[in-house]
Amino acid sequence: MGDYVYVLICLVLILGVLTGYFVRQIIANQQIRGAKKEARRLLDDAATKHKEVLLEAKEEAARLRSTAETESKEHRLELQRLDNRLTQKEQALERKSEFFEKQERELNLKERDIEGIKGELQGLKKKKVEQLEALSGISSEEAKQLLLQAIESEVKDEAARQVRTWENQVKEEANRRAQEILATTVQRCTTDVVSEITVSTVPLPSDEMKGRLIGREGRNIRALEQATGVDLIIDDTPEVVTISSFDPVKREVARISLDKLILDGRIHPARIEEVVEKAKVEVEAIIRNAGEQAAYETDVAGLHPELITLLGKLKFRTSYGQNVLLHSTEVAHLAGMLANEIGADSVLARRAGLLHDIGKAVDYQVEGPHALIGADLVKQWDKSPEVVQAIAEHHGEALTSSIIGFIVAAADAISGSRPGARRESLDQYLKRVKDLEDIASSFPGVEKTFAIQAGREVRIMVKPEEIDDLTAVRLARDISKKIEESLTYPGQIKIVVVRETTAVDYAK
């Protein structure tokens, strides 16, 4: 029974395996048939699409061929038109070339004709020159020289007349503009018109005080002179002591010391030394305050303390009776306003104007003109080369080339030459007038000279037979230049050359 079951199971298994195999074969055959059908369908679709693509490609090729043929035809037409135009241009150029060649041939013929005419003219000219030389008795070269001399003289006269006209026009315009600027500047500058005299005398309450100042065997006066560095002159002038010194600061120290000693009444060497020391401290404070005040009034900032001190010393310095510190302050104001009027740097102008006479604070100790001394001093403590240059230039000791130098020189002249600003001694006035007349008389053709209007104008009478009208113009200019080079003076001097010709005849 067991074997039977085993056999039956084996048969079932074999039957199942065979059934599965046949089932798989059937399914595989069906799948193969479906795949073949799908492949045939795809082949049919591909053939159909291939035909469609071929048709489209043929149509596109036909269309492109048609377009290309059209464009090619148009290009051929365009090339034909261009070729026609080129042919026409070549024909036109050939015609122009022929025309120019014809013109050139005609010009060559005319040129040969002209050369022939020139030769004939040269021959005629030579004959005429020979005839003129025979008639005039001089050669052509001599005639040229005479003609050139006549033309040169005429040109010089015409140039002199033209120069005189231009000079008058330029002077009129320059004077008008300068007068406007100076008038505006002077109107804006409101300064006092004062003239100072250096304090050199001290009044005494009585002549008895002279003996007390001298002291026993002169010990008091020696102590005072040694302490102050000045000379005291005690002479027969009643109730006055004269102080003599080139140093204005020492003179001021001595004056203050004398005032204090006279007021105190105790006069002996120890007291003198004590009072002089206090006076020096007081004068130093006055100097500093005066310098700072001047810088503040003129709006000049950043000055070195040494420059402030030198400025303050100018408080005790005078020039022709004019206080130099007040003059410097005034010049600073004027220079700043002049700079504003002409568009220059007013800050530099005020600075240079305030410091322009600083050399006068030490000119009694250093040799040389105060302008150059001042420029050397300022160069040590001021880093502005324009200011240094303007200080050196303001009196002509250096070549004036900067605008600030011109402005400071003009402001200095205005401040020094205004009425009442300065005094001039009779000897100096007479010497200046004589120098003016001597310079004018040194020129040839001058007959008489007269300096008038306090030396502000020079009238010059010339010999009319030696000086003509144009030469008179040159003579006035030459005299003015020599006066500028030889003399120093404030303001300007007018030169007037007078030439008069008198013709006299008698009717008989």
Structure tokens at 153: 């003289």
Beta strands in 180-227 (DSSP E): 201-203
Q: In the predicted model, what is the mean pLDDT of residues 309-318?
A: 85
Q: List where CATH 3.30.300.20 sits in the chain.
A: 426-498
Element (H, E) at 135: helix 2-136
Q: List where CATH 1.10.3210 sits in the chain.
A: 201-417
Kindly state the greatest CA–CA separation across the chain.
208
Q: Mean pLDDT over all residues of the chain?
A: 80
- Residues contacting residue 476 through CB under 8 Å, at least 6 positions apart: 460, 495, 496, 497
pLDDT of residue 328: 87
Answer whether residue 204 shows pLDDT above 60.
yes
pLDDT of residue 193: 44
Q: Which one of 20-34, 69-83, 202-216, 451-465 scores highest in mean pLDDT?
A: 69-83
Q: In the predicted model, what is the mean pLDDT of residues 457-470?
A: 86
Strand pairing partners for 232? 243
Answer whether residue 159 shows pLDDT above 70.
yes
Q: What's at 330, amino acid-wise? A: E
Give the whole-angstrom CA distance, residue 200 versus residue 227.
17
Per-residue pLDDT of 277-296, as tens digits, reads 988 888 889 989 988 998 88
Cβ atoms 348, 332 nearer than 8 A: no
Answer whether residue 422 shows pLDDT above 60.
no
Per-residue pLDDT of 77-109, as tens digits, reads 888 888 888 888 888 888 888 888 888 888 888
Cβ atoms 202, 255 nearer than 8 A: yes
Q: In the predicted model, what is the mean pLDDT of residues 473-483?
A: 89
Answer whether residue 492 shows pLDDT above 60.
yes
Our separate counts of H helices and E strands in the chain read: 14, 8
Classify 201-417 by CATH class.
Answer: mainly alpha
Strand pairing partners for 457? 452, 494
Cβ atoms 333, 189 nearer than 8 A: yes
Give the whole-angstrom CA distance, residue 312 versus residue 228.
19
pLDDT of residue 387: 87
Q: In the predicted model, what is the mean pLDDT of residues 380-388?
A: 84
pLDDT of residue 400: 58
pLDDT of residue 289: 92
Cβ atoms 204, 239 nearer than 8 A: yes
Backbone angles phi, psi at 323, to 5 degrees: -65, 125
Element (H, E) at 244: strand 240-244
Per-residue pLDDT of 326-368, as tens digits, reads 888 888 888 888 888 888 888 888 998 898 888 888 877 777 7
Answer whether residue 68 shows pLDDT above 80.
yes
Lowest-confidence pick of 41-50, 167-176, 267-276, 387-396: 167-176
- Residues contacting residue 66 through CB under 8 Å, at least 6 positions apart: none
> Is 447 exposed, middle or buried, given 0-12, 13-18 or 19+ CB atoms closer than 10 A?
middle
Q: Which of 424, 398, 423, 420 is nearest to 409 (CA)?
A: 398
Q: Which CATH architecture has domain 426-498?
A: 2-Layer Sandwich (3.30)
In residues, how long is the chain?
508
Answer whether residue 194 shows pLDDT above 50.
no
Q: In the predicted model, what is the mean pLDDT of residues 451-461?
A: 81
- For 340, half-sphere exposure in the C-beta direction (CA atoms, 13 angstrom radius) is 11
Question: What is the pTM assigned to this prediction?
Answer: 0.50
Q: In the predicted model, what is the mean pLDDT of residues 117-138?
A: 76
Answer whether residue 184 shows pLDDT above 60.
no
